[in-house]
Chain A
Amino acid sequence: MTELASGTVERIPAPPSAGAAGAAIVLHATNLQRRYRMGQEVIEVLRGLDLVLRSGESVAVMGRSGAGKSTLLHLMGLLDRPDAGSLQIDGVETSRLSRARRARLRNRNVGFVFQFYHLLPELNALENVMLPLMIQHGTLAWPGQRGAARRQAHALLDELGLADRARHRPAKLSGGERQRVAIARALVGQPRLLLCDEPTGNLDERTSETIADQLFALAARHGHSLVLVTHDRELAARADRRLLLHDGHLGAA
């Protein structure tokens, strides 16, 4: 990582080994370590984890509860910092970036889909979807961007079959509809990386299937790289690669 004094972030090229497959590397984790202290005890959750994710690739991460799947997702989404190791997103080394720069990088490059949707209850579906774009554009720039952002959010809701639910607040939407709004919100900023934490974990089987279809279809259509944390083997089977997080390391599932 090289952070310039001017405030810009210099992108470093992808490692030679990772670029061999042709597609650009979106995420490159090397020797990622994360431990927690609980009283006197130190729990090592990630013990030197390596992962390379290419553009348009989907990876399912599986593992037992407490294996560190969510921790890994939070590290990849720049919500948490590793204790050691390197994490590059779209060629930018992130481990020493300031909190503000990590937030900006997250806003432009990472989209989250959570198991419990995590929509803001005061906003309707359209406003929830537009929120990442509101964060991206400053107060002064927003009036000029609002129209385009609204069209973009509408298009995504339309693509997910929610055009007629745009003005509804989350409380008036079903679980499946809420998750589709959450997917639209994650995709609206056109991030390189989409991180999904049990995206169908709170839905019935039929709705889960529909959501999974739409998620993978949209990711493929828009070229997003996808990391899925799931216990659902059927969902995991749809990914290009399936990895098992065990004992702090990733291996083939």
Chain B
Amino acid sequence: MFKLFLAARYVLSRRVSYLGMAAIAVAVGALIVVVSVMNGFLNETRTLVRGTTADVIVTPVQDTAHGQPAPRQALEEVTRAQPGVIGAVARLIRPAIVKVYDSSTLILNLSQFADLSFVTALGIDVEAEKPVSGLELYLHQVEDASRRVADPAKPFAFERGRIRDPRLRTSGLPRCLVGEDRMETLGLRPGDALMLVTMSDKQDITSETIKPSTQTFVIAGAFRTNHHPFDMASVFVERDAFLDWTGTTTEVSELYVRVDDGLDPAIVRDSLQASLDNAGLDAQVETWQDRHRVYLGAVENERTILGVVLSLFVLLTCTITFSMLTMMVQEKIRDIGILSAMGAPAAGIGAIFATAGATIAAGGALLGLLAGGSVARNVDTVKDWIEHTFHIQIFRRDVYAFTTIPSVVDDRLNWTIAGVTVAFALVICMLPALRAARLDPVDALRHD
């Protein structure tokens, strides 16, 4: 009993013990907050990326040197017959340069529009998209009601009379859907016109003169996926208009495939790849994670690096316990002699100091667990308070494309962090504790 009793007294009677606890609490709390936010960030990023990417993507090989690309119908048949596949829809994809109709400048390589110059034009079949992709959701998510399409069931429908430029009202121009973020940036509204410039399939790209293929589209409305890079760089156009504009003979650029929710897309990917190979269809199959592995990998890597750095910080603060305990043993050499004279066993004397170290570490870890968990759970409230109090911006929505700081609190992981902290502190506290246990009682009694 004396071990616990004296350990508690030694810890409680020293102010430096509370300082040690506070240091460990700050380190553990910071690690918990950072890991929670990074987990939230990763989850949110995955959700956003996944929201704009098919579960599985089938890309037919377009290299004509290897023969004609796989036909759309065959690809769709094999894919839809694959177990676990809910639906598949063909999309046509083409990079393009954007020019606002009637503006004097082509938005190309101007520094202020550097990231606005190029878009990916997606040629889609609206009816086929509905059961497979999230197009309808993207249309509903538009925040500015005046930029929404008139009828989400027919998103490309737009009354001629509402076209801004009267000259275009009679021309029967095709419609397009533009990301809300891009529309905001360019100051565009539904009814404005946009020119998309690309290169025709009929061109020989090795020739000295390349004739661009240009088409003016009327903006029928906006879409919002909340995945900022996608919203800035994508324009939906109708499939037929896409074919007219580009003059392409390609039937499918990508097959957008949706699989059962409970199924691992990687399993479907492997089996679908095998089925396509068996059918003699030359196509590459990848999951949404494969498609974005560099982007997601970067976020994961960032989380890992921050976790490692802060873990080292936690371990460093544990060494404070070691220093405090070493000083405590030095201060208490006489006490150790007295306890020996009263019959305290050496192991018991060592246990006093090990318990004191563990108490400091456990107290700090517990405080850090509670404080870190609380902050992680209310990270936006804390952010608002800091921003309001100190007049600083610590979270930029335009950078991360999130409206709030995401945070996923993993209690099991947090308890593990606290447990490992205490275990590490206990291990390094063994050294001063062993020193205390091994002190010669006579030398200890004579110590000044």
Contacts from A to B (Cβ < 8 Å): 74, 77, 79-80, 99-100, 103-108, 110, 112, 114, 118-120, 122-123, 131-132, 134-139, 141-142, 185, 189
Bound Cα distance from A108 to B136, whole angstroms: 84
Assuming the contacts A123-B9, A135-B348, A138-B1, asked whether A79 and B342 have C-beta atoms less than 8 A apart, the reply is: no
Assuming the contacts A134-B2, A138-B1, asked whether A103 and B346 have C-beta atoms less than 8 A apart, the reply is: yes
Q: Among A105, A135, A139, which residue has its beta carbon within 8 angstroms of that of B342?
A: A135
* Contact flags B426-448 to A (C-beta < 8 A → 1, else 0): 00000000000000011001000
Q: Is the CB of A103 within 8 A of B3?
A: no
Q: Is the CB of B345 within 8 A of A104?
A: yes
| CB-based closest 3 A-B pairs | A107-B343, A142-B1, A134-B2
How far, in Å, is A26 (CB) from chain B's closest CB?
A: 16
- B129 contacts the other chain (Cβ, under 8 Å)? no
| Set of chain A residues within 8 Å of B9, measured between Cβ atoms | 122-123
| Set of chain B residues within 8 Å of A185, measured between Cβ atoms | 342
How far, in Å, is A72 (CB) from chain B's closest CB?
A: 12
| Set of chain B residues within 8 Å of A138, measured between Cβ atoms | 1
Q: Among B4, B13, B340, B343, which residue has its beta carbon within 8 angstroms of that of A136?
A: B343
How far, in Å, is B324 (CB) from chain A's closest CB?
A: 16
Bound Cα distance from A110 to B337, whole angstroms: 15
| Set of chain B residues within 8 Å of A106, measured between Cβ atoms | 341-343
Bound Cα distance from A99 to B343, whole angstroms: 10
How far, in Å, is B420 (CB) from chain A's closest CB?
A: 26
Q: How many A-B residue pairs have CB under 8 A?
A: 74
Among A120, A123, A137: residue with most chain B CB under 10 A: A120
Q: Is the CB of A79 within 8 A of B345?
A: no
Q: Among B1, B13, B334, B340, which residue has its beta carbon within 8 angstroms of that of A79?
A: B340
Q: Among B3, B346, B445, which residue has its beta carbon within 8 angstroms of that of A99?
A: B346
How far, in Å, is A185 (CB) from chain B's closest CB?
A: 7
How far, in Å, is B325 (CB) from chain A's closest CB?
A: 16
Assuming the contacts A123-B9, A134-B2, A135-B348, asked whether A80 and B442 have C-beta atoms less than 8 A apart, the reply is: yes
Contacts from B to A (Cβ < 8 Å): 1-6, 9-10, 13, 334-335, 337-348, 441-442, 445
Bound Cα distance from A16 to B302, whole angstroms: 82
Bound Cα distance from A141 to B3, whole angstroms: 14
| Set of chain B residues within 8 Å of A137, measured between Cβ atoms | 1
Q: Is the CB of B340 within 8 A of A122?
A: no
How far, in Å, is B20 (CB) from chain A's closest CB?
A: 18
Q: Is the CB of B343 within 8 A of A79?
A: no
Assuming the contacts A107-B342, A107-B343, asked whether A122 and B3 have C-beta atoms less than 8 A apart, the reply is: no
Listed by A's residue number, 6 A-B pairs whose Cβ atoms lie within 8 Å are A108-B343, A118-B445, A122-B6, A123-B9, A132-B343, A137-B1
Bound Cα distance from A106 to B343, whole angstroms: 5
Residue of A nearest to B1 (CB): A142
Residue of B nearest to A117 (CB): B338
Assuming the contacts A122-B9, A142-B1, asked whether A79 and B442 have C-beta atoms less than 8 A apart, the reply is: yes
Residue of B nearest to A143 (CB): B1
Q: Is the CB of B341 within 8 A of A120?
A: no
How far, in Å, is A98 (CB) from chain B's closest CB?
A: 10
Q: Among A74, A80, A135, which residue has its beta carbon within 8 angstroms of that of B339?
A: A135
Q: Is the CB of B340 within 8 A of A103?
A: yes
Q: Among A99, A114, A135, which residue has its beta carbon within 8 angstroms of that of B2?
A: A135
Q: Is the CB of A134 within 8 A of B5?
A: yes
| Set of chain A residues within 8 Å of B445, measured between Cβ atoms | 74, 79, 114, 118
Assuming the contacts A79-B445, A104-B343, asked whether A118 and B338 have C-beta atoms less than 8 A apart, the reply is: yes
Q: Is the CB of A79 within 8 A of B341?
A: yes
Q: Is the CB of A99 within 8 A of B341?
A: no
Bound Cα distance from A80 to B337, whole angstroms: 12
| Set of chain A residues within 8 Å of B334, measured between Cβ atoms | 118
| Set of chain A residues within 8 Å of B341, measured between Cβ atoms | 77, 79, 106, 112, 114, 118
| Set of chain A residues within 8 Å of B10, measured between Cβ atoms | 122
Q: Among B2, B13, B441, which residue has its beta carbon within 8 angstroms of that of A131?
A: B2
Q: Is the CB of B442 within 8 A of A100?
A: no
Q: Is the CB of A103 within 8 A of B13?
A: no
How far, in Å, is B346 (CB) from chain A's closest CB?
A: 6
Bound Cα distance from A104 to B345, whole angstroms: 7
| Set of chain A residues within 8 Å of B347, measured between Cβ atoms | 100
Bound Cα distance from A232 to B16, whole angstroms: 43
| Set of chain A residues within 8 Å of B3, measured between Cβ atoms | 139
Bound Cα distance from A138 to B346, whole angstroms: 15
Residue of A nearest to B332 (CB): A120
Q: Beyond A100-B345, A103-B340, A106-B341, list 20 extra A-B contacts (CB 8 Å).
A: A74-B442, A77-B341, A103-B343, A104-B343, A104-B345, A105-B343, A108-B343, A114-B341, A118-B445, A122-B6, A122-B10, A122-B13, A131-B339, A132-B342, A134-B2, A135-B339, A135-B344, A139-B1, A141-B1, A142-B1
Bound Cα distance from A112 to B425, whole angstroms: 35
Bound Cα distance from A108 to B342, whole angstroms: 9
